[in-house]
Structure 1
Amino acid sequence: MTVPTPLLPARCDVLVVGAGPAGSACAQWLARHGVDVVQVDQHPFPRDKICGDGLIPDAHHALQRLGVHDEVMALAQPVAHVGCIGPRGGRVDVPGRLAVLPRRQLDHILQRAAERAGVRFFAPWRFEAPLLDGEGDGARVAGARLKAPGGAQAHDIRARWVVLATGAAPKALQAAGVCERHTPSGIALRGYVKNEAMAPRIRALEVVWHKRLRKGYGWIFPCRDGVFNIGVGLAHSHDQAADGKGSMQDVNLRELFQAFTEVHPHAAQLMAGGTVVGELKGAPLRCSLEGARWSRPGLLVTGEAAGSTYAFTGEGIGKAMETGLLAAEALLGDRGAAAAEAAIDTLVRQAYEHSLAALKPRFDLYERANRVNNHPWLADLLIWRANKSARILRRMAGVLEETGNPGNLVSLRGIAKLFVPGL
């Protein structure tokens, strides 16, 4: 039976396109402050989302701020450590506030919380094009044209502001005129495997570096009920060109995944004795707050559409929510301002872009830490020293908590300090 696509209203204060962590965080925060928000997504909920599903400390902070942390943790698998495993098999367990919850469940919790706050949610609707007031590059976005599946229905909705939280795929960014790089920053492949016998043996978030993983890494993250999220990621997967287009490196993700199951014993045992749930799926990543303009008149770009994923770790859930909240806070400055529309637009955009610019140096540090992916022997060195030094282990824990500098661990000075603490 075909379910009719629900009809959208003609207008709202803010239209949020996308119901992932960034979009739902932004929508909920605005609605909690009395803003009339319409949120749309191209998929009915709940829906699957390709991700590692790991929740590190920044995600916990954002979930608490959004009032859903207890609901999330009631379903999540709590984890006490990240197990960092080097090419030679050395391992160090870095403590942290961690958990795992499949995105199908996490995103649904966040989307429902936005609705409880007063957001009007509609799906499935796909962003087709912005509605513009005026002409040329300076034309103000005044809403969006949305299409239902199959293209049979189209609907124009006018809004004071549009927030684009459409993830890593470039199509919506291109349609909105804010795409600077068509190709992704990285790519990942993940699947779910049920293997209850491995549940007592894999209790940490395992991250593995090896020379056969070709400038990438593998992971195994334990979910509940003997299910594991297993995958491989590749940073800097595409060559970048001046026109924003580029070609992918000569890497086959399925071959990379197969190599992971051969070089990491837990991956081999998990696959050999387990049952694959669903299928292996790949997805692009947008990292380091690069690849898209963060705003244009009447429109803000947030979450992974703005590049909110960390390059080194591939973690993006917490920073997606954080950028969504920053977009909402900037938009709240629009309310009741006694100034001309153009001046208010400028103030909102400046506030948002300033807040993202303040985050950018941290993303750049994670780009520097990519040396570990490019030179796996660095992982061996760090693991060896961390097992002998509580100070080094604390520094690694500080990277998780965002109190430490990940780039410094693998800089020339940082490597020297592994041997000469007084430097």
Structure 2
Amino acid sequence: MNDVSAPAPSVLPARCDVLVVGAGPAGSACATLLARSGLDVLLVDQHSFPRDKVCGDGLIPDAHRAFERLGVADEVRAAAHRVGHVGCIAPRGGRIDVPGSLAVLPRKELDHILCRNAQRAGARFLAPVRFDAVLKDGLGCVAGARLRAQAALYEVRARWVVLATGAVPQAMLAAELCERRTPSGVALRGYVKNEAMVDRITEMEVVWHKRLSKGYGWIFPAPGGVFNIGVGLAQSHAKGVDGRSAMQDVNLRQMFDTFCEVHGHARELMAGGEWVGELKGAPLRCSLDGARYSRPGLLATGEAIGSTYAFTGEGIGKAMETGLLAAEAILAEPQDEVAARAHYAAALATLKPKFDLYEKANKVNDHPWLADLLIWRARRNPRILRRMEGVLEEKNNPGHMVTPKGLLRLFMPIRG
């Protein structure tokens, strides 16, 4: 099936069962499950596909579980660059390789796979179409949306609207769901092609250093001798004395240059590499915080509601997971809007503790010496390495490793 990238105004339907706005991982996952169940689903995006998306492109175990459920696991595996470990590198150079089910695939390709899959399931995809505002019925419930296509406005009525519009807050503001304009973090990434480094950088690398300003750097090997290289800043918007959040005084480009100074692989990659595209920045929304999840007739999902993990910046798998939860809520209570919203809220409530634990683990970004300690001990104690592997697989608590009790255990004698 071919993607529709430039709809004529007459193509926009007047009605559908569910209008999903945003065809990234969350929106496409939601649209796929709904369309498979026989609902009339219209999926729209403000960009024609395939389109670029600023991301680290790392696929960890939760993403692979979602791919299996969506039926695209084989297609993703065929396109992605598979890796066996995440190399965690401490400020003093210590390194530990944490094994896991991992891969790297640029979002331009991944999101196109997921969007095509939604179409195969029966969803209609139209782009470029921009969300303008919600439509309301006489009781104030959302009854559809006003969409902009080819400079004209059109009204689409729907039983449900699902917003999966990402970290930029404009759509959530228009829908009156945004509670915090400022993001949780920011990131800057680019693609560099360097065939000479293919055998040198074989795993994902995440680097902490005291000069990286409460953030981290990464290099992820992608298909075709290309590497995703970038820096991220957690808790980028701190509260000032006036109680308002404002961007910290950090220059991301300067942070990127510093990363390339302090990390040998980054320095070598840049010295002999060729840019593929340009450095691009993007906001991050983390910890299921900063937005309401729903209002009558509307659910929000994905990074629009903060589906990215703090500390690591991982968000692809959790975006798909929240999109699937939104679809499940609609399908579970097809005739009861109040019950559907309650179903969705309860499902997200079961996820929230995981996000809170990653907020606790953010201490490593605030205090890079913790990475030195954790990695030093993990190199000497296989049980700590297994705990780190469990964190990657979402079987262990990342916050426990940086609590006072967890840190005390690191100093205890190694047994067994």
Alignment correspondent of 2:13: 9
Question: Partners in 1 of 2:111 and 2:27 — Cα distance?
Answer: 10
User: Is the contact made by 2:6 and 2:127 (CA closer than 8 Å) also made in structure 1?
Assistant: no
* 1:415 matched residue in structure 2: 407
Alignment of 1:5-404 (within 5 A): 5=8, 7-134=11-138, 139-149=140-150, 152-240=151-239, 246-335=245-334, 337=335, 344-404=336-396
> Letter of the aligned partner of 2:46 in structure 1?
Q
TM-score, length-normalised on structure 1? 0.95
Contact kept? 2:208, 2:217, Cα under 8 Å: yes
> How much has 1:240 moved relative to structure 2?
4.2
Separation (CA, whole Å) in 1 of partners of 2:243 and 2:163: 19
Q: In the aligned structure 1, how far is the partner of 2:332 from the partner of 2:359? A: 32
Partner Cα distance (2:386, 2:59) in 1? 19
- In structure 2, do the counterparts of structure 1 residues 68 and 421 end up closer, same or farther at CA, with 3 Å as the change threshold? farther
Compute the TM-score of the two structures, normalised by the length of structure 2: 0.96
SS in 2 for 1:288: coil
- Change beyond 3 A, Cα 1:242–1:180: farther
Q: Distance in 2 between matches of 1:60 and 1:244?
A: 40
Check conservation: 2:285, 2:308, Cα contact below 8 A.
yes
* Alpha-carbon shift at residue 418 of structure 1 (Å): 1.3
Q: Distance in 2 between matches of 1:146 and 1:242?
A: 40
Q: Distance in 1 between matches of 2:176 and 2:34?
A: 25
Q: Which moved more, 1:236-245 or 1:287-296?
A: 236-245
CA distance in 2, matches of 1:193, 1:272: 10
Deviations 1:299-333 (A, max 9, x none): 00100001000001000000000000000000002
- Supply the distance in 1 between the matched residues of 2:167 and 2:134 (Cα, whole angstroms): 18
Letter of the 2:67 counterpart: L
Partners of 1:181 and 1:245 within 8 A in 2: no
Instruction: Give the Cα separation in 1 of the matches to 2:385 and 2:346.
Output: 33
Aligned AA (1:374) = D
1:225 Cα deviation after fit: 1.4
C-alpha distance in structure 2 between counterparts of 1:244 and 1:292, whole Å: 18
**Structure 2 counterpart of 1:203, one-letter code:** T
- Partner of 2:313, secondary structure, is coil
Amino acid at match of 1:399: V
Q: 1:79·1:203 contact (CA, 8 Å) conserved in 2?
A: yes
Query: How much does 1:246 deviate?
Result: 2.6
SS at structure 1 position matched to 2:245: coil
Contact 1:54 1:98 in 2 (8 A): yes
1:169 aligned counterpart, secondary structure: coil
Any gaps of 5 or more consecutive residues in structure 1? 338-343
